[in-house]
Structure 1
Amino acid sequence: MKLPKLRGLWKKVRSTLAGYRPYRYFFICLLLPIAILATFSAVYYCNYTLRTRADLQSEAQHRLSSASTFLDNTVKKIQVNSRLLINTESFYNLFYNMASKDDAPTVYDATKALVNYNATLDLVDSSFVYLRGQKTVLSGEGLTNADNFFTQSCIFSDYSAHYWATYEGASYSFAINTPTTIEHKPSTSASSITWHRVIPVLTDALTESKSQNLFVVCLNQDMVEKTLQSYRKSEDEVLVVADKKGTIIASTDTDKATAFLGNQTVQHRFLDAGSTGCLELSLQGKRYVVNSGASNFSYAHYRFLSFTPKTSFYSTMQSMNLFFITIILLTAAIFGALFYVFHSYILRPMKTLIGSIAHKGKEAGTGDANIVDFLADRVGDMQKDISTFVPILSEQHLVNLMTNPDAAARELPYGDNSVDSLPHAHFCVAVLQTQFSNAFRSAFTDEDRHKILKFLLQALKVQLSKGYVCHVINLQKNQIGIILNIADQFQAEQLVPELATVFGFFQYDSALISFSAGISRSCVELSRLHEAYQEARAALNTVPDGSPPERCVQIYSGSGDRVYFSFTTAQDNQLYYAVLQGHCAEAHAVLDTILKQNAARSLPHSESVKLWQYLFACILRAVKTGSLPLPWSKDFPDLSGEFDFADSGTTAQFLHELIDRTAQKADAHRQFSIDEVTDFIDTHYQDDLYLEAVAEKFGVTDKYLSRAFKESVHINFHDYLNRARMDAAKKLLVTTRKSVTEVGQAVGFNTHSTFFRVFKALEGVSPTDYRRLNRP
């Protein structure tokens, strides 16, 4: 009797489920993720310890590599700034012993330049120049007798005056000495004596042994150790920078670091052998995890170590059970919420909609209209949600908005609502121009110029980001664009001291580097960035030559009714490269487009003259870059000086003929082989190669090289470089016993994480797995 009842009950359940088929499939979809989650949790539990240990060790070594990079970059900044300082007019004669110490103006200018130098880097405590021939010392207090300086003003606890007088080191290099203490003892009163913990950085010949004088920069050891604090993951972690003898250069806890470095295992494995990796040791009656990362420091073989208590290092593993319980409960809550939403807002409206369609021509009720409105609203909400993921503020997007007036209508499909998440509604544009003089180019290399530009970009980002939401973009070779998201009460004058502060970093000799900047008014919409960019360029053109930093920044103050010519950066690049590469038809087409679009603006004659001058300068810039002969002759003279008296037709004919006489010779005159570039990469892949430096080596622009590379080799420059490095890395992994980190450094990668990521992306497996699978 019971069996028939059970059969009947089962048929009833099946009938009910058949009537609600969407629910049945939903329950299956609900249970399947839960089953997957349970399986995943079991597998994850088994592998959690091993995987977490490896991740924590890798992260610790990465932080040590970052600390090494910080110290390396600090010394590199000192090197660049010192080279700028020594080659200034005020410093040159003193440093090379060609001026008398009684030359008061020279000593005053040199002292002032040295004081400005000390302010360029927060980590610099003090600096001085030891003039061996005169037995004098130049410091921030002026020129002093060497004996008086080392006995009354600056006494080194670990280095005597005799040490500096007899010092001999490698030419054209920096040496980082072991830390010491400086006693500053002014002659006024003994009560004002102060002590400074410093790390001396010393060079004995900045310019290839032309001078026997010394330039000593003392890094503030307290500031260095304070910066090291930012690389710690926990409060009880100790970071140490030491040489292979165990001498501590800097640490976050000197007492503990001294005790730790006295351990024989630490000395043998990490100090003497210089190994990298992770090791657990008992130190001072407590278990510690010792990590040593790969050092990027290029000036000396220092060791970067971290000591972390084991309980603190693996603290994340102690909360494993809580983590799993939280994930399971959260997943259950999410699926419960999904079930409620699915039932209330999808299945029920869908059922009503299906019922409405089943009316077969009958008049629909009010409920049906509500369902249609509901679906329409949901589609609209989804569209708004999707708009928030559009990369509105990417650098390429901002460049297009500034330089192309039609970019806003084409690239803002959802209007300016897509930037509602920004803190302010207004925007401001500043354009900064950097000028490197011939004196700079004769004294320094293009690599030095690249370093200065990179430092300038970083300095602007750091200085401006303190008060504004900003984007700093490298627009052209020596031109930088700054876009600020500002409040409506913003005054452009507020930005002038910020820019002047950054300019002041480089004011050792204005004859080497000069700066100018223009600032626009504020605009309310992103689509008006082009107008703000034009205003900033107009203000930039009004900067007087040879002005001090605070006067090198001009604010746009022109009338809003004035009509400016339209000549975007994109059009400038198109015309420049068309002439440079000998594409006559393309150059003529770009020129006609520019002239026609400005003819429609009804420009005043003065503005038309400026446009013609810009076009003329763009074409001649391509001629100079391509090393082409100037086309001037008796039947074709240079008419650029007569633009003020010419009409548009005469000027257009002159510019078109100038293109014909230059672009036709450009392609044949230009000597450039992509095979030479690939051969150079194949033999120098281990160096710090980048597109701009390689382009300048072969006498072409970076954009031209990128385009030619893709047309000839069919992949871009960076992909080819990475492939060359991977081929060398695979060979080293199979044929040598070097560690993965050492292999990455040998083929040109600065960090282990970058090498690991690129290798896995190109080869499909990690470097360790590749070695295991391919080693005989």
Structure 2
Amino acid sequence: MKKIPLSSYIPLKNKLFLRILLYFLSLLLPILIIGAFLYVNFSQKSEDDFKQKVQLNLQSSVDFIDMFVQTAQRSSVSFFYDKNVMSLIQPYDEYNSADKVKVPNIPYTLSRISNDIGDLIDNLFVYVDDQKVYTKDGLENFNYYFSSTYKFEAYDADFWRNRLSSSTYLELLSPSKVVLNQSLERNGIPFVFSKTVNGHQTELVMTVSIERIAKTIRNNALFTSTNFMILNNNDKIIWSSLDGTEGFGTAELSEVLAKNGSDSGDVRIGGQKYILTKIKSGVYGWTYYSLTPYSEFTAQYTKVFVMIVSVCVLLMIVGCVLSFVFAYNLYNPIQKIRDILLSDGDDAYPAGRQGKMRVSELDWIGMGIHQIIEKSNTFKKRLDTLSTDYIDHVLLHVMTGNKPVNEREWHKVLEEELAFTRGYFVCCSIKLSYKPAFYEEIQDVERLMILHKMKKIVESLIGQYVPSYIIESKQNVFVCLANVDEEQDAIRLKHALGLIIETFQHDSRYCGIHAGIGKCYPGTEGIPKSYHDAMSVLANSDAQQNFLIADTADLNRERSGAPHRSDQLVNTILHYIENHYEQDLYLEKIAEQMGVSSKYISKVFKEKMGVNLTDYISMTRISKAKEIMLNTDMNISDIAERVGIFSRTTFIRLFKKIEGLPPNEFRRRAGHTADGGNVEQRMEG
């Protein structure tokens, strides 16, 4: 059977395939870096946590011992305040027959206290002279007690006799071996309390068992292999589990911790590494050392380290396999794309055959695809432009009564291109009039940008309310075709136009906007009629007004000359302004409130009052602002907002225009010259 080589399936010698494979394999580098980072940091963190755990364990043992010894100390000291002790304790020679009968009460008190203070205390005794010693078992001969019953190797009977002349209340003696009844040996730390009772120096001795302290520490230790050392406040060893042959004493331990700058560190003793921890008791000044073999840490965390390494290795193996699979699956379609591009000839690439030699195969394919995408985008832009021009052409002809396409194509434009699915249509015309200041004060670049984006602004604002399409029928004149559900929905179009007026109202220095709305008609046959209505309303609008929205109802009302009681209307307007001057007032809003057209209301108000309505509103606001300035300390910005002018700059400009000086200057002069009068008086003047 003929063997088929692996290279016939997998292109191991193909540079493009190998390059793709290397790209995928390079993604495995973060796994290696993260794995190494986690290993190093976890190792250090684990070691720090282990040291902290050992230190907390030693601290808990120290706190327990301190608490226990303190409790024993307080219980022992309570001996001096026992009523039997206070009434009976005195040198033995001074007891009379009646007192000697009560003397056993003192050992009874010692026995009771001994039962309360626990296992850490080995013995408790009291003496007041060099004849007798009071113990929990009774009275003992002084010399016999310290030489046979409870003999301290470091302190003989003379030492205890001389203690009777000491004035120190509490003294912790150095550890000493104690021989009980000439047979049993123990180690203890004598705590000696001195107090004068009934005029006599009384010594209370509490012996703390070193063996029981060692047992407490060992029982509480995390590891049985941990060694301990306890030093008293004079740096003398109280107890140590270290072998003295190791040649590592307290000086060496202190030197290691001093170099490390903390109470924990690593130390080598006898070729073995230990974790050294130090805790100093805040009660008696004892220093506790623990030496835990480093092997305990290694044994505890080896499994975790092995797991991290295993996961990283497994991820690397899986990553290599997946990289090979992805590279192979990606290579095949790229190779096919390359073959397709080659079939189109050299023109499909930016460089000719010479360029192919200068770039890699993958880059070469990418350049060809990029060129195809550029051609596609260029074609799409051209198609979009042609489509927009085509729709504008069709709609303009339909509005003027000429349908340039058949019915099927017309409905396709409405439903597919414009997404118009509702039954009613309404047209409106919007004319933008730019004033000389627009061309004189605004730079050319900004002016061209504004003119270029104006259609998009109008389209965006109207599109929030109704489905619509905007056409620029001629320069600065836009025609909007809106698709609505019913006649009442056409009101939303008027609100949209009001939003446009509100947006540009503060720029009346630069432009004016007139909008005419046609009637709402059912079906596409009404589009030419609505367009004709809108253009008629726009043609008959008052050119003197900066901003105006009118519909066929306004036009009919003006033409019919329906009578209105002009005096009553003007009074109503004055009353309305007086009560609403702090709001956003403008001509169209007041006309809507009065139920008449803005053109009519402007004409009547000017005839009756001799001033434009807009100027009257400004004069009213400035008059109210003057009253506030004269009677309060409000700042200019707050006063402007109070009277309905929400731009500080606009307020200052209007104030100076009407009063002839800025607001701050007016307020300053008001302290010397009273400024009276109202709006009507100013108009008469």
TM-score bracket, normalised by the shorter chain, equals 0.3 to 0.5
Q: Which has the larger radius of gyration?
A: 2
TM-score, normalised by the number of residues in structure 1: 0.33
TM-score, normalised by the number of residues in structure 2: 0.37
